[in-house]
Structure 1
Protein backbone atom coordinates (compact mmCIF):
# COMPACT_ATOMS: atom_id res chain seq x y z
CA UNK A 1 0.00 0.00 0.00
CA UNK A 2 1.01 3.65 -0.55
CA UNK A 3 2.25 5.48 2.52
CA UNK A 4 2.75 9.25 2.54
CA UNK A 5 6.16 10.33 3.84
CA UNK A 6 6.13 12.47 6.96
CA UNK A 7 7.59 16.00 6.66
CA UNK A 8 11.11 16.41 8.03
CA UNK A 9 11.27 17.44 11.65
CA UNK A 10 12.38 21.05 12.23
CA UNK A 11 15.99 21.49 13.26
CA UNK A 12 16.73 22.80 16.67
CA UNK A 13 19.15 25.66 17.16
CA UNK A 14 19.46 29.37 16.44
CA UNK A 15 19.11 30.97 13.02
CA UNK A 16 21.79 33.42 11.92
CA UNK A 17 21.68 36.39 9.53
CA UNK A 18 24.80 37.65 7.84
CA UNK A 19 24.19 41.28 6.73
CA UNK A 20 26.34 42.65 3.92
CA UNK A 21 26.78 46.42 3.82
CA UNK A 22 28.60 48.50 1.21
CA UNK A 23 29.34 52.21 1.43
CA UNK A 24 28.39 53.65 -1.99
CA UNK A 25 28.69 57.31 -1.04
CA UNK A 26 31.98 57.75 -2.89
CA UNK A 27 30.65 55.98 -5.98
CA UNK A 28 27.53 58.16 -6.03
CA UNK A 29 29.65 61.28 -5.62
CA UNK A 30 31.77 60.19 -8.57
CA UNK A 31 28.66 59.54 -10.70
CA UNK A 32 27.33 63.02 -9.91
CA UNK A 33 30.68 64.55 -10.83
CA UNK A 34 30.69 62.74 -14.18
CA UNK A 35 27.12 63.84 -14.90
CA UNK A 36 28.00 67.44 -14.05
CA UNK A 37 31.07 67.38 -16.29
CA UNK A 38 28.99 66.05 -19.17
CA UNK A 39 26.46 68.88 -18.91
CA UNK A 40 28.61 71.83 -17.80
CA UNK A 41 31.47 73.84 -19.22
CA UNK A 42 34.78 72.91 -17.59
CA UNK A 43 36.14 76.48 -17.60
CA UNK A 44 33.22 78.58 -16.36
CA UNK A 45 31.04 75.95 -14.68
CA UNK A 46 28.04 77.12 -16.71
CA UNK A 47 25.69 74.72 -18.51
CA UNK A 48 27.23 73.73 -21.83
CA UNK A 49 25.74 73.60 -25.30
CA UNK A 50 24.16 70.16 -24.85
CA UNK A 51 22.56 71.12 -21.53
CA UNK A 52 21.29 74.40 -22.99
CA UNK A 53 19.61 72.59 -25.87
CA UNK A 54 18.11 70.06 -23.48
CA UNK A 55 16.60 72.77 -21.26
CA UNK A 56 15.33 74.70 -24.24
CA UNK A 57 13.95 71.61 -25.97
CA UNK A 58 12.07 70.62 -22.80
CA UNK A 59 9.93 73.75 -23.19
CA UNK A 60 9.07 73.19 -26.85
CA UNK A 61 6.70 70.89 -28.66
CA UNK A 62 6.25 70.23 -32.35
CA UNK A 63 3.00 72.13 -32.72
CA UNK A 64 2.72 75.88 -33.13
CA UNK A 65 0.09 77.35 -30.84
CA UNK A 66 -2.22 78.31 -33.70
CA UNK A 67 -2.30 74.86 -35.33
CA UNK A 68 -4.56 72.94 -33.00
CA UNK A 69 -7.32 73.85 -30.59
CA UNK A 70 -7.60 72.55 -27.08
CA UNK A 71 -9.64 69.57 -25.95
CA UNK A 72 -13.01 71.29 -25.59
CA UNK A 73 -12.77 73.13 -28.91
CA UNK A 74 -11.64 69.96 -30.70
CA UNK A 75 -14.56 67.92 -29.39
CA UNK A 76 -17.02 70.69 -30.27
CA UNK A 77 -15.59 70.79 -33.78
CA UNK A 78 -15.87 67.01 -34.09
CA UNK A 79 -19.54 67.03 -33.16
CA UNK A 80 -20.09 69.82 -35.67
CA UNK A 81 -18.75 67.55 -38.41
CA UNK A 82 -15.31 69.05 -38.89
CA UNK A 83 -12.11 67.06 -38.84
CA UNK A 84 -10.57 69.14 -36.06
CA UNK A 85 -11.10 72.47 -34.28
CA UNK A 86 -9.49 75.73 -35.20
CA UNK A 87 -10.61 77.75 -32.21
CA UNK A 88 -8.29 79.94 -30.23
CA UNK A 89 -10.16 80.01 -26.95
CA UNK A 90 -8.82 79.51 -23.46
CA UNK A 91 -7.77 75.95 -24.22
CA UNK A 92 -5.73 76.85 -27.28
CA UNK A 93 -2.68 77.52 -25.18
CA UNK A 94 -2.51 73.87 -24.10
CA UNK A 95 -2.24 70.49 -25.73
CA UNK A 96 -5.30 68.37 -25.15
CA UNK A 97 -6.76 65.32 -26.82
CA UNK A 98 -7.55 66.84 -30.18
CA UNK A 99 -7.34 65.81 -33.79
CA UNK A 100 -10.33 63.42 -33.79
CA UNK A 101 -12.00 62.61 -37.09
CA UNK A 102 -15.73 63.26 -37.05
CA UNK A 103 -18.28 60.69 -38.17
CA UNK A 104 -18.75 60.93 -41.91
CA UNK A 105 -15.97 63.54 -42.24
CA UNK A 106 -12.74 63.11 -44.18
CA UNK A 107 -10.66 60.52 -42.39
CA UNK A 108 -13.70 59.36 -40.35
CA UNK A 109 -15.37 56.01 -40.43
CA UNK A 110 -18.53 57.40 -42.05
CA UNK A 111 -22.06 56.23 -41.65
CA UNK A 112 -22.28 57.33 -38.02
CA UNK A 113 -19.94 54.56 -36.88
CA UNK A 114 -18.24 56.82 -34.33
CA UNK A 115 -14.81 58.38 -33.91
CA UNK A 116 -11.58 57.07 -35.35
CA UNK A 117 -8.59 57.92 -33.22
CA UNK A 118 -5.44 58.59 -35.27
CA UNK A 119 -3.30 56.59 -32.92
CA UNK A 120 -3.37 54.61 -29.70
CA UNK A 121 -5.51 56.70 -27.36
CA UNK A 122 -3.35 55.82 -24.38
CA UNK A 123 -0.07 56.55 -26.07
CA UNK A 124 -0.68 59.80 -27.95
CA UNK A 125 -1.03 60.67 -31.60
CA UNK A 126 1.42 60.35 -34.49
CA UNK A 127 3.80 63.28 -34.52
CA UNK A 128 2.64 64.39 -31.06
CA UNK A 129 5.29 63.87 -28.37
CA UNK A 130 2.91 64.19 -25.46
CA UNK A 131 -0.04 61.99 -24.56
CA UNK A 132 -3.67 62.98 -25.06
CA UNK A 133 -4.07 64.09 -21.44
CA UNK A 134 -0.77 65.98 -21.22
CA UNK A 135 -1.66 69.64 -20.62
CA UNK A 136 1.53 71.14 -21.97
CA UNK A 137 1.36 74.94 -21.88
CA UNK A 138 2.56 76.32 -25.18
CA UNK A 139 5.63 78.52 -25.27
CA UNK A 140 4.61 81.63 -27.18
CA UNK A 141 6.50 84.68 -28.40
CA UNK A 142 5.62 88.38 -28.61
CA UNK A 143 4.32 89.29 -32.04
CA UNK A 144 6.93 92.05 -32.49
CA UNK A 145 9.60 94.05 -30.71
CA UNK A 146 6.81 96.32 -29.46
CA UNK A 147 5.59 95.12 -26.09
CA UNK A 148 2.07 93.76 -26.62
CA UNK A 149 1.72 92.27 -23.16
CA UNK A 150 2.78 88.77 -24.22
CA UNK A 151 5.21 87.09 -21.83
CA UNK A 152 7.51 84.50 -23.35
CA UNK A 153 10.81 82.67 -23.08
CA UNK A 154 13.48 85.15 -24.19
CA UNK A 155 16.72 83.80 -25.64
CA UNK A 156 19.57 86.31 -25.42
CA UNK A 157 22.55 85.39 -27.58
CA UNK A 158 25.72 87.15 -26.39
CA UNK A 159 28.97 87.49 -28.33
CA UNK A 160 31.92 89.35 -26.77
CA UNK A 161 33.43 92.28 -28.67
CA UNK A 162 37.21 92.60 -28.63
CA UNK A 163 37.88 89.25 -27.00
CA UNK A 164 40.11 87.93 -29.79
CA UNK A 165 42.52 90.86 -29.45
CA UNK A 166 42.88 90.12 -25.73
CA UNK A 167 43.69 86.50 -26.48
CA UNK A 168 46.18 87.45 -29.18
CA UNK A 169 47.87 90.18 -27.14
CA UNK A 170 47.96 88.74 -23.62
CA UNK A 171 47.54 85.00 -24.15
CA UNK A 172 44.96 82.36 -23.36
CA UNK A 173 45.48 82.60 -19.60
CA UNK A 174 44.15 86.16 -19.65
CA UNK A 175 41.41 85.18 -22.09
CA UNK A 176 40.25 82.37 -19.81
CA UNK A 177 40.17 84.72 -16.84
CA UNK A 178 38.02 87.15 -18.84
CA UNK A 179 35.56 84.39 -19.77
CA UNK A 180 35.28 83.28 -16.15
CA UNK A 181 34.57 86.85 -15.01
CA UNK A 182 32.04 87.45 -17.79
CA UNK A 183 30.25 84.24 -16.80
CA UNK A 184 30.13 85.46 -13.19
CA UNK A 185 28.75 88.87 -14.19
CA UNK A 186 26.09 87.33 -16.41
CA UNK A 187 25.01 84.91 -13.69
CA UNK A 188 24.84 87.72 -11.15
CA UNK A 189 22.73 89.84 -13.50
CA UNK A 190 19.88 87.36 -14.03
CA UNK A 191 17.13 86.02 -11.79
CA UNK A 192 17.12 82.74 -9.94
CA UNK A 193 15.72 80.18 -12.33
CA UNK A 194 17.13 81.82 -15.45
CA UNK A 195 19.80 79.92 -17.37
CA UNK A 196 23.18 81.30 -18.36
CA UNK A 197 25.07 78.90 -20.63
CA UNK A 198 28.32 78.97 -22.57
CA UNK A 199 28.05 77.72 -26.14
CA UNK A 200 31.81 77.78 -26.64
CA UNK A 201 34.49 80.33 -27.38
CA UNK A 202 33.22 83.77 -26.37
CA UNK A 203 29.53 83.01 -26.98
CA UNK A 204 27.00 82.86 -24.16
CA UNK A 205 23.23 82.38 -24.09
CA UNK A 206 20.71 83.49 -21.47
CA UNK A 207 17.27 81.88 -21.16
CA UNK A 208 14.87 84.13 -19.26
CA UNK A 209 11.23 83.07 -18.98
CA UNK A 210 8.20 85.27 -18.38
CA UNK A 211 9.54 88.38 -20.13
CA UNK A 212 7.87 90.78 -22.51
CA UNK A 213 9.67 92.48 -25.39
CA UNK A 214 10.56 95.55 -23.32
CA UNK A 215 11.72 93.38 -20.40
CA UNK A 216 14.07 91.42 -22.65
CA UNK A 217 15.51 94.61 -24.17
CA UNK A 218 16.11 96.04 -20.69
CA UNK A 219 17.81 92.82 -19.60
CA UNK A 220 20.14 92.91 -22.61
CA UNK A 221 21.15 96.50 -21.77
CA UNK A 222 21.77 95.67 -18.12
CA UNK A 223 23.89 92.64 -18.95
CA UNK A 224 25.88 94.59 -21.54
CA UNK A 225 26.54 97.33 -19.00
CA UNK A 226 27.64 94.70 -16.46
CA UNK A 227 30.22 93.28 -18.88
CA UNK A 228 31.76 96.61 -19.97
CA UNK A 229 33.65 97.60 -16.75
CA UNK A 230 37.38 96.69 -16.74
CA UNK A 231 38.40 93.18 -15.75
CA UNK A 232 41.64 92.92 -13.79
CA UNK A 233 43.89 89.99 -14.61
CA UNK A 234 47.40 89.73 -13.11
CA UNK A 235 47.41 93.42 -12.25
CA UNK A 236 46.31 94.40 -15.75
CA UNK A 237 42.91 95.89 -16.63
CA UNK A 238 41.30 94.68 -19.84
CA UNK A 239 37.95 95.50 -21.38
CA UNK A 240 35.50 93.64 -23.56
CA UNK A 241 32.17 94.69 -24.98
CA UNK A 242 29.17 92.54 -25.79
CA UNK A 243 26.59 92.30 -28.55
CA UNK A 244 23.21 90.79 -27.73
CA UNK A 245 20.58 89.34 -30.02
CA UNK A 246 17.13 88.67 -28.61
CA UNK A 247 15.24 85.68 -29.94
CA UNK A 248 12.08 84.02 -28.67
CA UNK A 249 11.34 80.36 -28.10
CA UNK A 250 8.05 79.23 -29.57
CA UNK A 251 6.38 75.84 -29.90
CA UNK A 252 6.72 74.56 -33.44
CA UNK A 253 10.44 75.45 -33.46
CA UNK A 254 13.38 73.25 -32.57
CA UNK A 255 16.03 74.32 -30.06
CA UNK A 256 18.52 74.81 -32.91
CA UNK A 257 16.08 77.03 -34.80
CA UNK A 258 15.55 79.20 -31.73
CA UNK A 259 19.30 79.59 -31.16
CA UNK A 260 19.92 80.30 -34.84
CA UNK A 261 17.28 83.04 -34.82
CA UNK A 262 18.83 84.70 -31.75
CA UNK A 263 22.30 84.36 -33.29
CA UNK A 264 21.16 86.11 -36.48
CA UNK A 265 19.65 88.96 -34.47
CA UNK A 266 22.92 89.28 -32.57
CA UNK A 267 24.91 89.71 -35.78
CA UNK A 268 22.43 92.30 -37.05
CA UNK A 269 22.86 94.22 -33.81
CA UNK A 270 26.66 93.88 -33.94
CA UNK A 271 26.82 95.21 -37.52
CA UNK A 272 24.53 98.13 -36.76
CA UNK A 273 26.60 99.12 -33.71
CA UNK A 274 29.80 98.82 -35.75
CA UNK A 275 28.43 101.13 -38.47
CA UNK A 276 27.26 103.63 -35.86
CA UNK A 277 30.75 103.57 -34.27
CA UNK A 278 32.40 104.18 -37.64
CA UNK A 279 30.06 107.12 -38.37
CA UNK A 280 30.79 108.58 -34.96
CA UNK A 281 34.52 108.25 -35.59
Structure 2
Protein backbone atom coordinates (compact mmCIF):
# COMPACT_ATOMS: atom_id res chain seq x y z
CA UNK A 1 0.00 0.00 0.00
CA UNK A 2 2.83 2.39 0.82
CA UNK A 3 4.38 2.02 -2.64
CA UNK A 4 1.14 1.40 -4.54
CA UNK A 5 2.44 -1.95 -5.80
CA UNK A 6 0.69 -5.33 -5.56
CA UNK A 7 2.51 -8.02 -3.57
CA UNK A 8 2.91 -10.20 -6.66
CA UNK A 9 4.76 -7.39 -8.43
CA UNK A 10 6.95 -6.70 -5.38
CA UNK A 11 8.29 -10.24 -5.47
CA UNK A 12 9.80 -9.60 -8.90
CA UNK A 13 12.09 -6.90 -7.52
CA UNK A 14 15.33 -6.95 -5.62
CA UNK A 15 15.12 -4.57 -2.67
CA UNK A 16 17.76 -2.34 -4.26
CA UNK A 17 15.58 -1.96 -7.37
CA UNK A 18 13.11 0.05 -5.29
CA UNK A 19 15.68 2.41 -3.77
CA UNK A 20 16.31 5.88 -5.21
CA UNK A 21 19.62 5.79 -7.18
CA UNK A 22 21.06 8.54 -4.98
CA UNK A 23 20.34 6.46 -1.85
CA UNK A 24 22.01 3.21 -2.96
CA UNK A 25 25.17 4.08 -1.01
CA UNK A 26 23.02 4.71 2.08
CA UNK A 27 21.58 1.24 1.66
CA UNK A 28 25.11 -0.17 1.31
CA UNK A 29 26.21 1.52 4.54
CA UNK A 30 23.21 0.38 6.57
CA UNK A 31 25.13 -2.29 8.50
CA UNK A 32 27.88 0.17 9.43
CA UNK A 33 25.23 2.45 10.95
CA UNK A 34 23.66 -0.19 13.17
CA UNK A 35 21.21 -1.61 10.66
CA UNK A 36 19.25 1.63 10.34
CA UNK A 37 18.84 3.97 7.40
CA UNK A 38 16.59 6.68 6.01
CA UNK A 39 16.14 6.59 2.26
CA UNK A 40 13.60 6.91 -0.55
CA UNK A 41 11.63 4.06 -2.09
CA UNK A 42 9.96 4.23 -5.50
CA UNK A 43 6.20 4.31 -5.73
CA UNK A 44 4.39 2.76 -8.67
CA UNK A 45 3.57 6.23 -10.07
CA UNK A 46 7.28 7.13 -10.28
CA UNK A 47 7.37 9.32 -7.18
CA UNK A 48 9.40 8.51 -4.08
CA UNK A 49 8.51 8.24 -0.41
CA UNK A 50 10.91 8.69 2.50
CA UNK A 51 11.09 5.68 4.80
CA UNK A 52 13.06 4.54 7.82
CA UNK A 53 14.60 1.06 7.62
CA UNK A 54 15.55 -1.13 10.57
CA UNK A 55 16.95 -4.53 9.72
CA UNK A 56 18.07 -7.60 11.62
CA UNK A 57 19.39 -10.98 10.55
CA UNK A 58 17.33 -14.03 11.47
CA UNK A 59 19.73 -16.96 11.99
CA UNK A 60 20.02 -20.33 13.64
CA UNK A 61 22.99 -21.91 15.39
CA UNK A 62 23.55 -24.62 12.78
CA UNK A 63 23.19 -22.87 9.45
CA UNK A 64 23.82 -19.23 10.31
CA UNK A 65 21.83 -16.44 8.61
CA UNK A 66 18.57 -17.56 7.06
CA UNK A 67 17.00 -14.28 6.00
CA UNK A 68 16.86 -10.58 6.75
CA UNK A 69 13.90 -8.98 8.49
CA UNK A 70 13.34 -5.37 7.42
CA UNK A 71 10.97 -2.98 9.19
CA UNK A 72 9.87 -0.12 6.93
CA UNK A 73 8.24 3.00 8.40
CA UNK A 74 6.74 5.90 6.46
CA UNK A 75 8.53 9.12 7.55
CA UNK A 76 7.47 11.35 4.64
CA UNK A 77 5.91 14.10 6.78
CA UNK A 78 8.79 14.22 9.26
CA UNK A 79 11.37 14.23 6.49
CA UNK A 80 9.58 17.00 4.63
CA UNK A 81 9.60 19.09 7.82
CA UNK A 82 13.30 18.35 8.41
CA UNK A 83 14.18 19.30 4.84
CA UNK A 84 12.25 22.55 5.19
CA UNK A 85 14.14 23.40 8.38
CA UNK A 86 17.46 22.51 6.74
CA UNK A 87 16.60 24.70 3.75
CA UNK A 88 15.79 27.64 6.02
CA UNK A 89 19.09 27.21 7.84
CA UNK A 90 21.12 27.13 4.62
CA UNK A 91 19.25 29.70 2.49
CA UNK A 92 18.59 33.41 2.65
CA UNK A 93 15.00 34.11 3.71
CA UNK A 94 14.61 37.16 1.45
CA UNK A 95 16.02 35.98 -1.88
CA UNK A 96 15.87 32.21 -1.46
CA UNK A 97 19.54 31.96 -2.46
CA UNK A 98 22.06 29.86 -0.52
CA UNK A 99 23.43 31.89 2.38
CA UNK A 100 27.04 32.52 3.39
CA UNK A 101 27.26 29.39 5.52
CA UNK A 102 25.97 27.21 2.69
CA UNK A 103 28.39 28.81 0.20
CA UNK A 104 31.30 28.12 2.55
CA UNK A 105 30.14 24.53 2.97
CA UNK A 106 29.93 23.98 -0.80
CA UNK A 107 33.30 25.61 -1.31
CA UNK A 108 34.90 23.65 1.54
CA UNK A 109 33.63 20.39 0.06
CA UNK A 110 35.84 21.07 -2.98
CA UNK A 111 38.97 21.89 -0.96
CA UNK A 112 41.25 19.45 0.78
CA UNK A 113 44.22 19.97 3.07
CA UNK A 114 47.52 19.63 1.27
CA UNK A 115 50.38 17.90 3.12
CA UNK A 116 51.67 19.99 5.98
CA UNK A 117 48.65 22.25 6.20
CA UNK A 118 45.19 21.43 7.58
CA UNK A 119 42.13 22.93 5.94
CA UNK A 120 40.69 24.78 8.92
CA UNK A 121 37.09 24.92 7.78
CA UNK A 122 36.95 21.64 5.88
CA UNK A 123 35.49 18.51 7.35
CA UNK A 124 37.95 16.19 9.04
CA UNK A 125 39.19 14.36 6.00
CA UNK A 126 37.33 12.84 3.08
CA UNK A 127 34.92 10.00 3.66
CA UNK A 128 36.47 6.92 2.11
CA UNK A 129 34.79 3.74 1.05
CA UNK A 130 32.35 1.69 3.04
CA UNK A 131 34.57 0.10 5.63
CA UNK A 132 36.72 -3.00 5.27
CA UNK A 133 35.79 -6.12 3.39
CA UNK A 134 34.93 -7.71 6.73
CA UNK A 135 32.30 -5.02 7.11
CA UNK A 136 30.53 -6.44 4.08
CA UNK A 137 30.98 -10.15 4.60
CA UNK A 138 32.68 -12.46 7.05
CA UNK A 139 33.07 -15.37 4.65
CA UNK A 140 33.99 -18.81 5.92
CA UNK A 141 34.63 -20.39 2.54
CA UNK A 142 32.07 -21.37 -0.07
CA UNK A 143 28.62 -20.46 1.14
CA UNK A 144 30.20 -19.25 4.37
CA UNK A 145 28.02 -17.66 7.03
CA UNK A 146 27.76 -13.91 7.26
CA UNK A 147 28.30 -12.49 10.72
CA UNK A 148 25.01 -11.02 11.92
CA UNK A 149 26.85 -8.03 13.32
CA UNK A 150 28.51 -7.23 10.00
CA UNK A 151 26.10 -8.65 7.48
CA UNK A 152 26.22 -5.57 5.28
CA UNK A 153 24.45 -5.50 1.96
CA UNK A 154 24.77 -9.25 1.71
CA UNK A 155 21.89 -9.47 4.17
CA UNK A 156 19.60 -8.02 1.52
CA UNK A 157 20.30 -10.86 -0.89
CA UNK A 158 18.02 -13.92 -1.05
CA UNK A 159 19.16 -17.12 0.63
CA UNK A 160 18.88 -20.18 -1.64
CA UNK A 161 19.90 -22.80 0.93
CA UNK A 162 23.49 -23.06 -0.30
CA UNK A 163 24.89 -19.63 -0.92
CA UNK A 164 23.98 -15.97 -1.15
CA UNK A 165 23.02 -15.02 -4.66
CA UNK A 166 23.27 -11.58 -6.16
CA UNK A 167 20.47 -9.22 -7.14
CA UNK A 168 19.94 -7.85 -10.63
CA UNK A 169 22.48 -5.14 -11.51
CA UNK A 170 22.01 -1.92 -9.58
CA UNK A 171 21.43 1.35 -11.44
CA UNK A 172 24.79 2.25 -12.95
CA UNK A 173 25.97 -1.10 -11.69
CA UNK A 174 29.65 -0.80 -12.56
CA UNK A 175 31.74 -1.82 -9.58
CA UNK A 176 29.11 -4.11 -8.05
CA UNK A 177 29.30 -7.88 -8.35
CA UNK A 178 27.00 -10.40 -6.67
CA UNK A 179 28.20 -12.57 -3.86
CA UNK A 180 29.26 -15.93 -5.26
CA UNK A 181 30.07 -19.31 -3.81
CA UNK A 182 33.75 -18.46 -3.50
CA UNK A 183 33.11 -15.54 -1.21
CA UNK A 184 34.79 -13.16 -3.68
CA UNK A 185 33.28 -9.69 -3.87
CA UNK A 186 33.81 -6.47 -5.77
CA UNK A 187 33.23 -3.26 -3.90
CA UNK A 188 32.02 0.10 -5.19
CA UNK A 189 34.57 2.82 -5.90
CA UNK A 190 35.59 4.84 -2.87
CA UNK A 191 33.14 7.61 -2.01
CA UNK A 192 36.04 9.84 -0.98
CA UNK A 193 37.59 10.25 -4.45
CA UNK A 194 38.81 13.83 -4.70
CA UNK A 195 39.97 15.90 -7.64
CA UNK A 196 42.26 18.70 -6.48
CA UNK A 197 41.19 22.26 -7.15
CA UNK A 198 44.10 24.14 -8.75
CA UNK A 199 43.96 27.88 -9.56
CA UNK A 200 44.86 28.79 -13.17
CA UNK A 201 48.37 30.18 -13.41
CA UNK A 202 47.94 32.23 -16.58
CA UNK A 203 45.52 33.45 -19.20
CA UNK A 204 45.78 30.33 -21.33
CA UNK A 205 42.40 29.09 -22.49
CA UNK A 206 43.35 25.53 -21.59
CA UNK A 207 43.60 26.25 -17.86
CA UNK A 208 40.35 25.86 -15.93
CA UNK A 209 39.62 26.37 -12.28
CA UNK A 210 37.03 26.94 -9.58
CA UNK A 211 36.20 30.65 -9.62
CA UNK A 212 34.51 32.72 -6.93
CA UNK A 213 33.02 36.01 -8.11
CA UNK A 214 32.44 38.41 -5.22
CA UNK A 215 29.77 41.01 -6.01
CA UNK A 216 28.99 44.24 -4.16
CA UNK A 217 26.17 46.49 -5.35
CA UNK A 218 26.93 50.14 -6.08
CA UNK A 219 24.34 52.78 -5.16
CA UNK A 220 22.18 50.44 -3.10
CA UNK A 221 22.43 52.40 0.17
CA UNK A 222 21.04 55.54 -1.50
CA UNK A 223 17.99 53.59 -2.67
CA UNK A 224 17.43 52.18 0.81
CA UNK A 225 17.77 55.63 2.40
CA UNK A 226 15.50 57.40 -0.10
CA UNK A 227 12.75 54.85 -0.70
CA UNK A 228 12.91 52.63 2.37
CA UNK A 229 13.71 49.01 3.09
CA UNK A 230 10.69 47.72 1.20
CA UNK A 231 12.17 49.08 -2.02
CA UNK A 232 15.65 47.92 -1.07
CA UNK A 233 14.40 44.38 -0.46
CA UNK A 234 12.69 44.37 -3.86
CA UNK A 235 15.98 45.43 -5.48
CA UNK A 236 17.85 42.59 -3.77
CA UNK A 237 15.26 40.06 -4.90
CA UNK A 238 15.48 41.27 -8.50
CA UNK A 239 19.28 41.29 -8.47
CA UNK A 240 19.24 37.72 -7.14
CA UNK A 241 16.94 36.71 -9.99
CA UNK A 242 19.15 38.36 -12.62
CA UNK A 243 22.30 36.76 -11.23
CA UNK A 244 20.67 33.33 -11.17
CA UNK A 245 19.49 33.66 -14.75
CA UNK A 246 22.97 34.69 -15.85
CA UNK A 247 24.85 31.60 -14.67
CA UNK A 248 24.85 27.91 -15.55
CA UNK A 249 22.61 25.41 -13.83
CA UNK A 250 25.46 23.89 -11.80
CA UNK A 251 26.84 27.23 -10.62
CA UNK A 252 25.99 28.57 -7.17
CA UNK A 253 24.69 32.09 -6.58
CA UNK A 254 24.65 33.02 -2.89
CA UNK A 255 23.73 36.08 -0.87
CA UNK A 256 26.44 36.78 1.68
CA UNK A 257 24.47 39.46 3.50
CA UNK A 258 23.44 43.07 2.93
CA UNK A 259 24.05 43.92 -0.72
CA UNK A 260 26.85 41.39 -1.22
CA UNK A 261 26.52 38.29 -3.38
CA UNK A 262 28.89 35.59 -4.61
CA UNK A 263 28.97 33.20 -7.54
CA UNK A 264 30.75 29.84 -7.38
CA UNK A 265 31.53 28.63 -10.91
CA UNK A 266 33.68 25.62 -11.78
CA UNK A 267 35.50 24.85 -15.02
CA UNK A 268 36.27 28.43 -16.03
CA UNK A 269 39.47 29.93 -17.38
CA UNK A 270 40.56 33.47 -16.40
CA UNK A 271 39.12 35.04 -19.56
CA UNK A 272 35.84 33.16 -19.12
CA UNK A 273 35.57 34.31 -15.51
CA UNK A 274 36.16 37.92 -16.57
CA UNK A 275 33.53 37.56 -19.28
CA UNK A 276 31.05 36.15 -16.76
CA UNK A 277 31.64 39.10 -14.43
CA UNK A 278 31.00 41.55 -17.28
CA UNK A 279 27.82 39.77 -18.34
CA UNK A 280 26.49 39.69 -14.79
CA UNK A 281 27.31 43.36 -14.27
CA UNK A 282 25.48 44.24 -17.49
CA UNK A 283 22.49 42.16 -16.37
CA UNK A 284 22.26 44.14 -13.11
CA UNK A 285 22.51 47.63 -14.68
CA UNK A 286 19.05 47.92 -16.37
CA UNK A 287 16.41 49.85 -14.39
CA UNK A 288 14.40 48.01 -11.76
CA UNK A 289 10.73 49.04 -11.57
CA UNK A 290 9.14 48.95 -8.13
CA UNK A 291 5.71 50.37 -7.24
CA UNK A 292 5.76 52.95 -9.98
CA UNK A 293 9.34 54.09 -9.48
CA UNK A 294 12.46 53.16 -11.42
CA UNK A 295 15.82 52.67 -9.72
CA UNK A 296 19.23 51.49 -10.87
CA UNK A 297 22.19 49.89 -9.16
CA UNK A 298 25.62 49.05 -10.42
CA UNK A 299 27.89 46.23 -9.31
CA UNK A 300 31.57 45.68 -8.64
CA UNK A 301 33.05 42.20 -9.06
CA UNK A 302 36.21 40.60 -7.79
CA UNK A 303 37.41 37.18 -8.95
CA UNK A 304 39.14 34.74 -6.65
CA UNK A 305 40.36 31.23 -7.40
CA UNK A 306 39.96 28.25 -5.12
CA UNK A 307 42.86 25.88 -4.57
CA UNK A 308 43.36 22.88 -2.33
CA UNK A 309 45.37 23.91 0.72
CA UNK A 310 43.27 27.08 1.05
CA UNK A 311 40.27 27.52 3.31
CA UNK A 312 36.90 28.76 2.08
CA UNK A 313 37.38 32.00 4.02
CA UNK A 314 40.73 32.59 2.34
CA UNK A 315 39.21 32.13 -1.10
CA UNK A 316 36.34 34.50 -0.30
CA UNK A 317 38.71 37.06 1.23
CA UNK A 318 40.86 36.99 -1.90
CA UNK A 319 37.82 37.61 -4.12
CA UNK A 320 36.59 40.34 -1.74
CA UNK A 321 39.94 42.15 -1.89
CA UNK A 322 39.97 42.04 -5.68
CA UNK A 323 36.43 43.40 -5.71
CA UNK A 324 37.50 46.45 -3.69
CA UNK A 325 40.45 47.02 -6.02
CA UNK A 326 38.05 46.95 -8.97
CA UNK A 327 35.59 49.26 -7.17
CA UNK A 328 38.28 51.83 -6.33
CA UNK A 329 39.53 51.82 -9.92
CA UNK A 330 36.28 53.44 -11.12
CA UNK A 331 34.83 56.80 -10.21
CA UNK A 332 31.62 57.01 -8.19
CA UNK A 333 29.71 58.03 -11.32
CA UNK A 334 31.05 55.04 -13.23
CA UNK A 335 30.09 52.69 -10.42
CA UNK A 336 26.53 54.01 -10.33
CA UNK A 337 26.33 53.42 -14.07
CA UNK A 338 27.57 49.88 -13.58
- Same fold at TM > 0.5: yes
Give the distance between the partners of 1:128 and 1:166, measured in 2 at CA: 44
Give the distance between the partners of 2:205 and 2:288, measured in 1 at CA: 38
Partner of residue 14, structure 2: none
The Cα RMSD (Å) is 2.7
Higher relative contact order (CA 8 A, sep 6+): 1
Give the distance between the partners of 2:104 and 2:194, measured in 1 at CA: 19
User: Is this contact kept in 2: 1:62–1:252, CA < 8 A?
Assistant: yes
- Given the alignment, which residue of 100, 113, 138 partners 1:62? 113
Residues 216-235 of structure 1: matches in 2 within 5 Å? 216-235=273-292
Partner of residue 156, structure 1: 213
- Given the alignment, which residue of 201, 206, 212 partners 2:269? 212
Q: CA 1:49 to 1:277, structure 2 compared with 1: closer, same or farther past 3 Å?
A: closer
Give the distance between the partners of 1:200 and 1:276, measured in 2 at CA: 24
Deviation at 1:62, TM superposition (A): 1.0
Give the distance between the partners of 2:74 and 2:311, measured in 1 at CA: 43
Deviation readout 1:82-135 (Å, 9 max, x if unpaired): xxxxxxxxxxxxxxxxxxxxxxxxxxxxxxxxxxxxxxxxxxxxx982469754
TM-score (norm 2): 0.55
Matched, 1:257 2:314: yes
Deviates further, 45-54 or 132-141: 132-141
Task: Give SS of 2:256's match.
Answer: strand
Give the distance between the partners of 1:196 and 1:139, measured in 2 at CA: 19
Higher-strand-fraction structure: 2
Residues 192-211 of structure 1: matches in 2 within 5 Å? 192-211=249-268
Residues 68-87 of structure 1: matches in 2 within 5 Å? none
Deviation at 1:149, TM superposition (A): 2.0
Matched, 1:190 2:241: no
Task: Give SS of 2:331's match.
Answer: helix
Partner of residue 12, structure 1: none
- Given the alignment, which residue of 125, 129, 135 partners 2:125? 129
Deviation at 1:24, TM superposition (A): 4.0
User: Is this contact kept in 2: 1:159–1:242, CA < 8 A?
Assistant: yes
TM-score (norm 1): 0.65
User: Is this contact kept in 2: 1:156–1:207, CA < 8 A?
Assistant: yes
Partner of residue 35, structure 1: 86
Unaligned runs of 5+ in 2: 1-71, 117-122, 130-189
Partner of residue 82, structure 1: none
Deviation at 1:276, TM superposition (A): 8.8
Q: CA 1:34 to 1:276, structure 2 compared with 1: closer, same or farther past 3 Å?
A: closer
Partner of residue 162, structure 2: none
Partner of residue 25, structure 1: 76
- Determine which structure has more spread, i.e. the larger CA radius of gyration: 1
Partner of residue 89, structure 1: none
Count of matched residue pairs: 198
User: Is this contact kept in 1: 2:205–2:271, CA < 8 A?
Assistant: no
- Given the alignment, which residue of 197, 203, 206 partners 1:139? 197
**Runs of 4+ with deviation above 6 angstroms:** none
User: Is this contact kept in 2: 1:195–1:208, CA < 8 A?
Assistant: yes
